[in-house]
Structure 1
Amino acid sequence: MTVTRIREYRNLRGMTVRQLADRAGVSTGLISQVERGVTDPSLETMRRIAEVLDVPLFSLFQDGDDQTVAVIRHDDRYRISSPHHAITYTRASPGGAKLEVLEGSLEPGAVSSDSLRSHPSEECVVVLSGRLTIEVGDQTHLIKTGDSCYFDSHIPHRFRNEGRTTVRFMISVTPPSY
């Protein structure tokens, strides 16, 4: 189980557990368990909590160390996934950096979210293996191994895997918002 910084951000905003739970649409028990590191919530739950707290998703797992050089070992990366692990992200960059780099994997037939989402950032996605369909506004792009796609994240977007194998990709986001 991962201990998060939810309590820290909640307290900075003067919010009670009940207020955060109500605004995020989850139970107070879940917030309490997550704050104590007893359970790991789903990706969607963490997104809602981050939105209520008005912080980038992965800042909830931030180390808090200001370093000019950071080495993040593969096995030490923060990881978050959807309830059925259809999509998984690991953070390859340090918490608190001005640029966030994530490695993602998306299972066959899965989507990154039920609906298109936007956030105040810019993204560049590089497909490491497989094929990734990227929906940005009313445009759809098929990105193959080695291809990349840059877009303004203010435009609602999501990722789909319409293939038969897991797709792996890297995402660079600035400023961090995941």
Structure 2
Amino acid sequence: MENIDIGKKVEKFRKEKGYSSRELARIADITPSMLSQIERGIANPSIQTLKVLAKALDVPTFSFLLEETNTEDLVVRFNERKNMVVENISYELLSPDFTGTLSTAIMNIPPATSSSEKLLEHKGEEVAYVLEGKIKVYLDEAEYILEAGDSLKIPAYMKHKWENNFDGKAAILFSVTPPSF
């Protein structure tokens, strides 16, 4: 919770509402001096003061307690992708990490390679898009050959497997929620 600056959030919400410091202090029934100290980070408001400010600003009380997201941490540069290799299949993580509820990666499958020996399942649902090459996908009892531009959705707990029996590399862009590998 080191990224939380309650005072800055109070000030941001106040300015979004178009209130001056004096107006918000009057509406919230606190002194302008106290509001100024809160906004500058000099004073820590009590929970009761946060509730009063939240009501005056028409925002949920918890909105003051949410951590700030550093937007730089959301960007993944091409040459800074996290890569992992599992039995000749490489994965390039397009998401910054595995936190949150969604993760996206590119799976590169060389010829004569499959994602697993048998069909596997996981709790997350998956959407995949073939970027390059051809790939055979097994979905329960069915088999499909997908080519560049094709896509599919794999529901949670559906047994599946990827298999490249073709001459060239296959590259599949996929997103899975929740993240799982």
Q: What TM-score results when the alignment is normalised by the length of structure 2?
A: 0.58
Query: Helix, strand or coil: the match of 2:172?
Result: strand
Counterpart-to-counterpart distance in 2, 1:118 and 1:149: 15
How far the C-alpha of 1:78 sits from its partner, in A, is 1.5
How far the C-alpha of 1:118 sits from its partner, in A, is 0.8
Query: Helix, strand or coil: the match of 1:75?
Result: helix
Counterpart-to-counterpart distance in 2, 1:119 and 1:147: 22
Q: Taking every aligned residue pair, what percent have the same amino acid on both sides?
A: 27
Q: Provide the residue aligned with 2:93 in structure 1.
A: 91
Counterpart-to-counterpart distance in 2, 1:159 and 1:72: 26
How far the C-alpha of 1:97 sits from its partner, in A, is 2.6
Structure 2, unmatched stretches of 5+, are 1-67
How far the C-alpha of 1:132 sits from its partner, in A, is 1.2
Number of residue pairs the alignment of both structures matches: 112
C-alpha RMSD of matched pairs (Å)? 1.7
**1:103 corresponds to 2:136:** no
Q: Provide the residue aligned with 1:177 in structure 2.
A: 180
Q: Provide the residue aligned with 1:120 in structure 2.
A: 123
Structure 1, unmatched stretches of 5+, are 1-64
Greater shift after overlay, 69-78 or 102-111? 69-78
Moved over 2 A (4+): 65-69
Larger Rg: 2
Q: What TM-score results when the alignment is normalised by the length of structure 1?
A: 0.59
Query: Helix, strand or coil: the match of 2:79?
Result: helix
Counterpart-to-counterpart distance in 2, 1:75 and 1:133: 29
Counterpart-to-counterpart distance in 1, 2:70 and 2:174: 21
